[in-house]
């Protein structure tokens, strides 16, 4: 190895939201110091990946599987920590609506996630949904 060459314990390829968060976690990790290198084909932050834009949503009751609930809760903690670190709000808690047929994949899955971790959810009749948001809802 020449004096210009360096070795790294971890190399993160791609510094969008995922790669940046990985770099951040590695930089803050306890234990022996690691040499970490981040590589991106552009100069982050940039608008040439999926992570650009002003907002993203995180759902607590993901329909895909109840296993996501504790992961999302951990993500909420980390967003709060990051807000504290940078000294400004980054995350706004809102309510969410999952729309779909009562026995459809979406509603059944969201309910399963909610019941596994005792998340507060309430069924909303189609008539109320269409009244509140002027939607045409077909059961
Ligand atoms: C319009 C839109 C809306 C979305 N809304 C949501 C939402 O509401 N909630 C949600 O959870 N998710 C949402 N997603 C998905 C979410 O934004 C993405 O899953 C997430 O941002 C992906 O982050 P990433 O770091 O994996 O990818 P990216 O942000 O795309 O980052 C990849 C990085 O890798 C770099 N790169 C690529 N190829 C190379 C290479 N060969 N060498 C070096 N670097 C390279 C790119 O330049 C880029 O910086 C949305 C996505 C889009 C497009």
**Is the per-residue pLDDT at 133 higher than 90?**
no
Which of 12, 13, 16, 91 to mutate to test ligand 1, by most ligand atoms within 8 A of the CB atom? 16
19 Cα: distance to centroid of ligand 1 (angstroms): 9
**Is the per-residue pLDDT at 31 higher than 90?**
no
In this prediction, residues 103-125 reach a mean pLDDT of 91
Q: Establish whether residue 39 lines the binding site of ligand 1, counting it when its CB lies within 6 angstroms of any ligand atom.
A: yes
- Token pair 């809102």 is at which residue? 94
Q: Establish whether residue 14 lines the binding site of ligand 1, counting it when its CB lies within 6 angstroms of any ligand atom.
A: yes
pLDDT of residue 136: 66
pLDDT of residue 127: 83
**Is the per-residue pLDDT at 3 higher than 60?**
no
Locate the DSSP E strands across the chain: 10-13, 36-39
pLDDT of residue 4: 63
Structure tokens at 109: 């899955």
In this prediction, residues 46-58 reach a mean pLDDT of 93
pLDDT of residue 80: 95
Mean pLDDT of the residues in the chain:
89
Q: Establish whether residue 96 lines the binding site of ligand 1, counting it when its CB lies within 6 angstroms of any ligand atom.
A: no
Segment holding 76, helix H or strand E = helix 68-86
In this prediction, residues 70-82 reach a mean pLDDT of 94
15 and 39 Cβ atoms separated by less than 8 Å: yes
**Structure confidence at residue 118 as a pLDDT band (50, 70, 90):** confident
Q: Establish whether residue 40 lines the binding site of ligand 1, counting it when its CB lies within 6 angstroms of any ligand atom.
A: yes
pLDDT of residue 74: 94
Q: Residue 2: which residues within 8 A CB-CB, separation 6 or more?
A: none
**Is the per-residue pLDDT at 27 higher than 90?**
no
In this prediction, residues 40-45 reach a mean pLDDT of 95
Structure tokens at 111: 């309910």
pLDDT of residue 39: 96
pLDDT of residue 116: 86
Query: Which residue CA neighbors atom 33 of ligand 1 most closely?
Result: 14
């Amino acid at each position: 190895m020449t004096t210009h060459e360096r070795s790294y314990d971890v190399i993160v390829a791609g510094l969008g939201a995922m790669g940046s968060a990985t770099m951040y976690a590695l930089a803050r990790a306890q234990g022996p110091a690691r040499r970490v290198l981040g590589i991106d084909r552009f100069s982050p932050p940039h608008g040439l990946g999926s992570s650009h834009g002003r907002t993203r949503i995180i759902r607590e009751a993901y329909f895909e599987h109840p296993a996501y609930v504790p992961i999302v809760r951990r993500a909420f903690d980390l967003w709060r920590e990051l807000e504290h670190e940078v000294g400004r709000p980054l995350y706004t808690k809102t309510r969410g609506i999952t729309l779909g047929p009562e026995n459809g994949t979406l509603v059944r899955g969201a309910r399963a996630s909610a019941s596994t971790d005792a998340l507060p959810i309430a069924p909303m009749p189609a008539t109320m949904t269409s009244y509140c948001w002027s939607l045409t809802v077909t059961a």
